[in-house]
Chains A and B, each alone.
Chain A
């Protein structure tokens, strides 16, 4: 009887102390939310942060809808906020605050048996826009090019459009894959395939990274690679309290180590 009572007391105290903890709700990008931010959150808790995390990664656009609705404390986005999203938040009375967290490099990959090793930036645009339809046009072995892209709600989809394609539409021959993994597996099985993935996936077997204008994606020289992009955390208003502690942690030395380990480039390496 006594032991039951004690057990009950312990459970109740645990429940109450859990209640006392603050919960950070983080919403947004799949690129960041798949691995990077959860590992950061885990490490933050381990080093003594009295906080619990609730992370959902359903695409960069969801960061801003959640911030605007007040259902998230932090939004993560692999692209900069769009003008209409800022407007949406403003109309809800929320001033969006942007914090750069890490850099990502979009890596263009082809099948490992493809003789092509380097592409001009213009050619990348023409391939993904559907102007170049055959590898022989670029001096490769003849064969129609199969283009694999992310699906339309992905921030990477949009970023690639602005960075590599001057805002042009993807060609109608492009195939929209659900995630990086799927692109890797299709490109590795299709001798004429080409696609793009996050840098963390560049080492997968069966694919080959092509350099763009002679530059390979390289964490030591991010700025010289044309498809490098910053990724962001967004808060409503200036961060304070636990939110500020967490963000400072991410941008500190411990955060940097985790960022490099998950295939991103920490800001400290950018200087």
Chain B
């Protein structure tokens, strides 16, 4: 009997609470407000997840598509041609140096010898180049047939699918007829590769003859010329490489399958990003990554001292009036659109750097005088400028968060202001400063417009042999390539997917940097007093 009694006469407190409660459409308004706030927070999370899903959905097919393309590249024999072509291309570099030596020499006799040497170089390679060109022609034809077959086959499948779906008999007949019209014989790779395989021996012989002539020609080179010595030193390696290539050609198999790992390797470790090529497109990630990383490092190296020192000054030494001036001014930088900064970079910073680099007393600086106004240093300077507000504000917050007790204790021990700042406050806030630097790095890596306009867009791994002067070379970046190329590639093509892969990697890098920033902040968290 007890429960029924208690339900009929509820305790006073719950009675009061219930009478106070109002419901909207049967819901508790407090719950509704809570859910409303929760929904706003979760929207951000959901959007982030959707972005990830979208990126992955567009990019995931890249590996199979690229694998198919590389497979065609191999089966059609383009790969075989490239094995021979790559070492032969070095000949161009050598003759280029020889021509320069010729231009620099004043002695007519030496000039004669050099001009002869260049001629020998050029004529020696011709037989091999001729054979190679013929093979290339064959390989390219096969590839084009394969591509045509693939495109038509895809279109045909679409037509057949459409035919299967239509209910109208006449329309279906039309579609089927069209599908029939676009039917092609599949390419017989085995048959088409045979002439290439047969002639590779001939090519190897021609290449061998070329190396013999080269060795002879080098003996006649004039002495005591820096450029000629450079060629002389490079020739043995060149010959060795050609011999190695001949060996690789023999061992090459056209029907060896392309493993998915080699495709992943070709993307992540590929050193060439070549698109819209008439020979073969390659999507190699390294040149873009190298450009992005070097630019980001330059930017962080410049921005870190400026923003950290400015933060220390503002936080510890500045008067209130100075604070009121410095903080808003630095934070205002963030409001400048990056495209405006890009134009400043082209029209102002570029010319400035170039002019300064031509000053006589600065010639000891590596890389001076510079030739390109648009280079990584220029981009790095502008990005540093953009990163300063982020780094400054967060560093300043970090210094603000140093417990008052630390400072009081230091003062009580008789430390000077400077000692307190550098021995107590900065070490205590170092975690926040480090994470500020990392977040600045994240900002810099993801920036697009400035690098697209200012970095010079040269898709090649920067020549690090130039030493520190490397920063004055142009480069291309991960963000820049997406902005430059995505607008005009056809949707769903391998190029499109490759750009999405770059996007995925960029996204991963940004996540990693942000995660590091959080981890650093947590790791060195000062003990709250």
**Contact residues of B between 488 and 508, Cβ < 8 Å to A:** 488-491
CA distance A63 to B254 in the complex (A): 37
B371 touches A143 (CB 8 A): yes
Contact with B along A93-134 (1 / 0, CB 8 A): 100000000000000000000000000000000100011111
CA distance A143 to B155 in the complex (A): 51
Q: Does B487 contact A (CB under 8 A)?
A: yes
- Which of A62, A84, A167, A189 is in CB contact (< 8 Å) with B354? A189
CA distance A62 to B490 in the complex (A): 8
CA distance A62 to B487 in the complex (A): 10
Question: Which residue in chain B gives the minimum CB-CB distance to A62?
Answer: B488
CA distance A119 to B372 in the complex (A): 23
A residues near B488, Cβ cutoff 8 Å = 58-59, 61-62, 153
Known contacts: A172-B460, A185-B346. The answer to whether A91 contacts B151 by CB under 8 A is yes
Q: Does A137 contact B (CB under 8 A)?
A: yes
Contact with B along A168-186 (1 / 0, CB 8 A): 0100111111100000011
Contact with A along B89-108 (1 / 0, CB 8 A): 00011011001101110000
Q: Does A22 contact B (CB under 8 A)?
A: no
A134 touches B100 (CB 8 A): yes
Known contacts: A173-B458, A177-B457. The answer to whether A91 contacts B152 by CB under 8 A is yes
Q: Does B269 contact A (CB under 8 A)?
A: no
Size class of A's contact patch? 35 or more
Contact with A along B470-497 (1 / 0, CB 8 A): 0000101000000011011111000000
Known contacts: A139-B103, A152-B276, A169-B274. The answer to whether A132 contacts B374 by CB under 8 A is no
A132 touches B275 (CB 8 A): no
Q: What distance in Å separates the Cβ of A232 from its nearest Cβ neighbour in chain B?
A: 18
Q: Does A218 contact B (CB under 8 A)?
A: no
Q: Does A269 contact B (CB under 8 A)?
A: no
Q: Does B351 contact A (CB under 8 A)?
A: yes
CA distance A219 to B504 in the complex (A): 48
CA distance A177 to B92 in the complex (A): 25
Q: Does A214 contact B (CB under 8 A)?
A: no
A142 touches B103 (CB 8 A): yes
B92 touches A131 (CB 8 A): yes
Size class of B's contact patch? 35 or more
Q: Does B525 contact A (CB under 8 A)?
A: no
Q: Does B277 contact A (CB under 8 A)?
A: yes
Known contacts: A134-B96, A151-B484, A190-B371. The answer to whether A175 contacts B458 by CB under 8 A is yes
A169 touches B279 (CB 8 A): yes
A residues near B460, Cβ cutoff 8 Å = 172-173
Q: What distance in Å separates the Cβ of B19 from its nearest Cβ neighbour in chain A?
A: 56
A residues near B130, Cβ cutoff 8 Å = none
- Which of B350, B457, B458, B485 is in CB contact (< 8 Å) with A153? B485
A91 touches B346 (CB 8 A): no
Q: Does B262 contact A (CB under 8 A)?
A: no
Q: Does A92 contact B (CB under 8 A)?
A: yes
Q: What distance in Å separates the Cβ of A2 from its nearest Cβ neighbour in chain B?
A: 49
A192 touches B457 (CB 8 A): no
A176 touches B459 (CB 8 A): yes
B457 touches A175 (CB 8 A): yes
Known contacts: A132-B99, A189-B354, A190-B372. The answer to whether A87 contacts B151 by CB under 8 A is yes
B485 touches A151 (CB 8 A): yes
Q: What distance in Å separates the Cβ of B234 from its nearest Cβ neighbour in chain A?
A: 14
B residues near A146, Cβ cutoff 8 Å = 371-372
Contact with A along B445-458 (1 / 0, CB 8 A): 00000001000111
Q: Which of A154-162, A201-209, A221-229, A242-250 contacts B (4 or more CB under 8 A)?
A: A154-162
A137 touches B457 (CB 8 A): no
CA distance A90 to B151 in the complex (A): 10
Q: Does B200 contact A (CB under 8 A)?
A: no
Q: What distance in Å separates the Cβ of B93 from its nearest Cβ neighbour in chain A?
A: 8
**Contact residues of B between 69 and 109, Cβ < 8 Å to A:** 92-93, 95-96, 99-100, 102-104
CA distance A189 to B371 in the complex (A): 9
Q: Does A88 contact B (CB under 8 A)?
A: yes
A91 touches B374 (CB 8 A): no
A residues near B274, Cβ cutoff 8 Å = 169
Q: What distance in Å separates the Cβ of B120 from its nearest Cβ neighbour in chain A?
A: 17
A residues near B272, Cβ cutoff 8 Å = 172
A residues near B275, Cβ cutoff 8 Å = 152
Known contacts: A132-B96, A139-B103, A189-B373. The answer to whether A90 contacts B144 by CB under 8 A is no
Chain B interface main SS type:
helix
CA distance A190 to B460 in the complex (A): 20
**Contact residues of B between 285 and 334, Cβ < 8 Å to A:** none
A133 touches B96 (CB 8 A): yes
Q: Does A136 contact B (CB under 8 A)?
A: yes
CA distance A131 to B459 in the complex (A): 17
CA distance A253 to B33 in the complex (A): 71
Question: Which residue in chain A gives the minimum CB-CB distance to B153?
Answer: A91
- Which of A87, A142, A144, A173 is in CB contact (< 8 Å) with B148? A87
A84 touches B151 (CB 8 A): yes
Q: Does A260 contact B (CB under 8 A)?
A: no
Question: Which residue in chain A gives the minimum CB-CB distance to B281?
Answer: A152
Contact with A along B390-413 (1 / 0, CB 8 A): 000000000000000000000000
Question: Which residue in chain A gives the minimum CB-CB distance to B486?
Answer: A153
CA distance A92 to B158 in the complex (A): 9
A92 touches B96 (CB 8 A): no
Question: Which residue in chain B gives the minimum CB-CB distance to A158?
Answer: B276
A93 touches B178 (CB 8 A): yes
B100 touches A137 (CB 8 A): yes
**Contact residues of A between 58 and 94, Cβ < 8 Å to B:** 58-59, 61-62, 65, 83-84, 87-88, 90-93
Contact with A along B432-466 (1 / 0, CB 8 A): 00000000000000000000100011111000000
A167 touches B458 (CB 8 A): no
Q: Does B419 contact A (CB under 8 A)?
A: no
CA distance A23 to B182 in the complex (A): 32
A157 touches B155 (CB 8 A): no
Q: Does B156 contact A (CB under 8 A)?
A: yes
CA distance A58 to B373 in the complex (A): 27
B residues near A136, Cβ cutoff 8 Å = 99-100, 103-104
19 contacts between A and B (CB under 8 A): A61-B489, A65-B490, A83-B148, A87-B151, A90-B182, A91-B151, A92-B155, A133-B93, A133-B96, A134-B96, A136-B103, A137-B99, A142-B100, A143-B371, A151-B484, A153-B487, A175-B458, A176-B476, A178-B452
Question: Which 7 pairs from chain A and chain B are nearest by CB?
Answer: A91-B155, A153-B488, A136-B103, A137-B99, A172-B460, A59-B488, A131-B92
Partner-A contacts on B (CB < 8 A)? 92-93, 95-96, 99-100, 102-104, 144, 147-148, 151-152, 154-156, 158-159, 178, 182, 272, 274-279, 346, 350-351, 354, 371-374, 452, 456-460, 474, 476, 484-485, 487-491
Seed contacts A151-B485, A158-B278, A176-B459; 14 additional CB < 8 Å A-B pairs: A87-B148, A87-B151, A131-B95, A137-B100, A137-B103, A146-B372, A157-B276, A169-B277, A175-B374, A177-B457, A178-B484, A189-B351, A190-B371, A191-B371
